Amino acid sequence: MTDPTKNPGDNPAEPQDAPPKASPLIRMAIEFGPLVVFFATQRLTKDSDPKGLDGLWYATIAFMLAITLSVIAGRMIERRWPVVPLVTAVFVLLLGGLTLWLQDATFMKIKPTLVNSLFAAILGFGLWRGRIYLKAIFGEALHLSDERWSRLTKRFILWFISLAILNEIARQVLNTDDWTTFKTVGLPVMTVLFMLTLGPLISQENEQPEDN
């Protein structure tokens, strides 16, 4: 018989404090919304930039505000700080602030280089210490052996290094309009394609753990 003194929510097999998950549409808006704002603002203000930064003056301000709001929205919806967007936001605020203060677009243009280099360094340091940080972040969604987590981490390290190198080349050879397109369209598209290449590595072993 069911104990009438117990609340159905007391069942330990049914965690009641699990943080809510944002819908895919809301998550996409949170992650890509600031990039859309940055791109649109740069294009709309490139001919009226008061500091001669080809639209990056107003675009930087808009980007700083948008990414701050997106991180706060993610925190409010899922009741946790999103790690990657939060780190990115810190760099945007720091380098964006230097861009506005010194009136030099170089700081915003090196942001992808620094962020991707940092992610590669963190993952590499983890492997060196025998720790797999990707597993700590995505372990609830992906159920892989440590060997596959290690292989996945190595691929991400190479990918982040590649993005850093690509951005360094792009910011040296492209004008501001083309670099903005590369950052807001090219990098996300390449990232999606990279994620698709991980399918075979993940799907071969991504199975739900058996219930005891």
Q: Are 143 and 209 in contact (CB under 8 A)?
A: yes
Is the full-model pTM beyond 0.85? Answer: no
Residue 25: both structure tokens together: 């549409």
Query: What does each of the 212 residues of the chain score in pLDDT, given as a tens digit?
Result: 445 544 544 444 444 555 677 677 888 888 899 999 999 999 999 999 999 999 999 999 999 999 999 999 988 988 888 788 889 999 999 999 999 999 999 999 999 999 999 999 999 999 999 888 888 877 666 778 888 889 999 999 999 999 999 999 999 999 999 999 999 999 999 999 998 998 887 775 555 444 44
Same domain, 61 and 145: no
Residue 109: both structure tokens together: 């243009």
Within-domain flag for 179: yes
Nearest to 62 by CA among 95, 88, 40: 40
Phi, psi values for residue 204, rounded to 5° = -65, -20
Q: What angle do CA 72, 189, 57 make, to 5 degrees?
A: 55
Same domain, 56 and 95: yes
Same domain, 91 and 144: no
Domain end: 85, 103, 121, which one?
103
Rg (CA), the chain: 21
Same domain, 98 and 114: no
Within-domain flag for 6: no
Q: Which helix (H) or strand (E) holds 118?
A: helix 111-128
Query: Phi-psi bin for 6: left (phi > 0), alpha (psi -120 to 50), beta?
Result: beta
Query: Phi-psi bin for 15: left (phi > 0), alpha (psi -120 to 50), beta?
Result: beta
Within-domain flag for 4: no
Q: For residue 99, what are the domain limits? A: 21-103
Phi, psi values for residue 65, rounded to 5° = -70, -45
Q: What is the pLDDT of residue 82?
A: 77
Q: Are 126 and 104 in contact (CB under 8 A)?
A: no
Q: What is the pLDDT of residue 83?
A: 80
Within-domain flag for 138: yes
